[in-house]
Structure 1
Amino acid sequence: MRLEYIRSFISVVNCKSFSVAAKQIFLSQPTISTHIKQLESELGVQLLVRSTKDVILSDAGVIFYPFAMRLLETESEALAQIHKNEMEIKGTVSIATSSVPGNYILPQFFAYSRQAYPDINYRISEGDSAEVLQSILHFETDIGIGSIRSNNDKCMCQPLAKDRIVLVTPNTEEYQNMKGKFPIDRLRQETYVLRESGSGTRFASESIERALNLDARPLKVALQVETSEMVKRGVEQGIGVAFISSLAIKDSVAQGKILKFEFPDIDTNRQLYLLYHKDRMMPLPVTSVIKILRQFCQNL
């Protein structure tokens, strides 16, 4: 089993495309295809399933992928030890993130991390917290950041940062007169802007709604959207009120575009998690990013 076959296989899985993988590792597409065929022939199984849209792992491919990664990572570790004094920390780290950390934590983190590791590049994919979990379990990204824990013992979930869910409203005289204290009995009368199902923010908001006894019958919903940024914009335009991450609304509150209300009698805190696959050995750039990301999030 040749390492160049393994390298081609990993590239196709990560890129979900033979042509893109060929460009990434500077080989021709026929060469990549030959490598995959040779590897599948040696193993006696089909590793990849080709569809009209992309390329995905077969059941056998899902089993083989972590072992393939270990082979390449063992090679990298061996070379790193041999050339330890010459080693520079560089490479590409892929991160799957839900919208709140993706929009309100990572941009500042990238600037922070470049001071220590200027030669590390990032590939970012954004989805809801459920999608982040799936990307980790299917080896699509190195690490993930989301607010939903997984019960799958293959997915490691480590606390990364604290967040808090708050209620936001348009900045109008009606809400200004509440002086920062929103009447609980008024909540049922409001029209809401909601995140989509699968979102960590939506999951946390539903827990708060239960604590405030708002789940007895459906809320009046004017708008359901896919990102916290769209929730915030909807509230700013007066479409409704919303439960949302406190990280997402700092600037809008400071600029007077919306008003923030908290409920001190119930627990509105939530945890953001760092996620990675248990079977994935982490190369030096990834472990370096994890270390400095934890350091950065301690100061949020």
Structure 2
Amino acid sequence: MAEAVRLGSAAQGTTAPNPNVGCVIVGADGAIIARGATAPGGRPHAEAIALAEAGERARGATLVTTLEPCNHRSQRGPACTDLILESGIARVIAALEDPDPRTHGEGLARLRAAGVAVELGTGAEESRESMAGWLLRQKLGRPRITLKLALSIDGKIALPSGESKWITGEDARAHVHLERAHHDMILVGRGTLQADSPRLDVRLPGLEERSPRRALLSRGEAVAGWEMLRAPEDVFRLHDVNDLLVEGGSATATAFLAADLVDRILLYRAPIIIGEGRQSVGYIGLDAIGDAHGRWVARDGRSLGIDRLEVYERVREG
């Protein structure tokens, strides 16, 4: 399952509107026969790719997947449950049940009814994290939204003049590009567009083609080459985006935080003190310190060269 999770995680940011599933097929000796991950654009599915690679070797083997195989037929491709039954796979291990109502347990039920041994739950936590964007969109009807902030020790994002290039070092900036590669869309505000003319692409060797779609948060005129969001709540119409990265300035960060639409924060903290300068976030509707507690939990922290990365997730009920 660890290899299946790795394969699925590597595909994050390329498979929307479908989930980034990983799959491996294991022979009787425990060796991996074939591997698959959901293809860019969502088809073929991970199971279909792995089964095609395995061919006749799939007969009697075990299929390990991060998500229940789909059970609904589509014009874009066959149901993975049908392919598994045709292949002669003897056992299926799935980490998560598919929340899509077109499958939601029916795929595993069909496999069991046909005599295939089925196990559910192995690697569930890791698989859930690897597909967090797609799973959240199934639940809330919008992408998982990550806010990226690059700050000084004293919480400033720029000098009073607006100069901010570069607060963080090369290692932190490289990590940002890796994060971009795992998002379907990246968003900034009009102020950032006008001040910096950002490319918002991925500039890591071998990952250049993984540059996400670009979106602009603005009530002004449309800009060629950019998708427009007039308000943070417009994220609910992004039905083909699983993971959205917000990289705008203070106004954009404030707007998304005030709307309580941020699920994850990537905070890159540089070992510098700016003093008087531009704040990272403005007023977000909190009038008492007590109201701020319990909303965020630290999930990760690590050094990136001279800088420090802190990862926080929004605590939400259910």
TM-score (normalised: structure 2): 0.29
**Largest Rg, 1 or 2:** 1
Looking at secondary structure, tell me which structure has more helix per residue: 1
TM-score (normalised: structure 1): 0.30
